[in-house]
């Protein structure tokens, strides 16, 4: 069966410090991978998605970047954190497919507080 791992679970970082959040998927190959952010107030916003190694699409301009160095690894980064980067970050995966769509599954999330 497939599983998704995301770490760390919580993180407190000072303004201006770098960030690296990691997400890995097991039990599948060539998944579509996603980073979402949930700010206070509930809504989830898609930040980045990737359909393959080295292929990153950004949904919103921001202080963050994403990379996919391996098939089942997705990394969210920042060189210098801002207060506004605080939030709950969720990684998700979907099985790669053509015209048939499948469920998305989410990791446990990382709660980031920038102080």
Partner 1 sequence: GIQVEQSPPDLILQEGANSTLRCNFSDSVNNLQWFHQNPWGQLINLFYIPSGTKQNGRLSATTVATERYSLLYISSSQTTDSGVYFCAVELVGGGSNYKLTFGKGTLLTVNP
What are the residues facing 25 on neighbouring strands? 4
Within positions 35 to 74, which residues make up the interface with partner 1, using CB under 8 A?
38, 42-44, 46, 49, 51, 59
Shortest reach from residue 38's CB to partner 1, in Å = 8
DSSP state at residue 79 = S
Shortest distance, position 67 Cβ to partner 1, whole Å: 18
In whole angstroms, give the CA distance from residue 27 to residue 7.
Answer: 18
C-beta separation of 31 from 73 below 8 A: no
The contact set with partner 1 (CB under 8 A) reads: 32, 34, 38, 42-44, 46, 49, 51, 59, 88, 90, 92, 94, 101-106, 108-109, 111
């Amino acid at each position: 069966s497939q599983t998704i791992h995301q770490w760390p679970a919580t993180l407190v970082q000072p303004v201006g410090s770098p960030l690296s959040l990691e997400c890995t998927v097991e039990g599948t190959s060539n998944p579509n991978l996603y980073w979402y952010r949930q700010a206070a107030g509930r809504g989830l916003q898609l930040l980045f998605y990737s359909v393959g190694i080295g292929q990153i699409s950004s949904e919103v301009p921001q202080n963050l970047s994403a990379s996919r160095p391996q098939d089942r690894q997705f990394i969210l980064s920042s060189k210098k954190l801002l207060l506004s980067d605080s939030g709950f970050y969720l990684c998700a995966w979907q099985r790669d497919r053509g015209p048939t769509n499948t469920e998305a599954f989410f990791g446990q999330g990382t709660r980031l507080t920038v102080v």
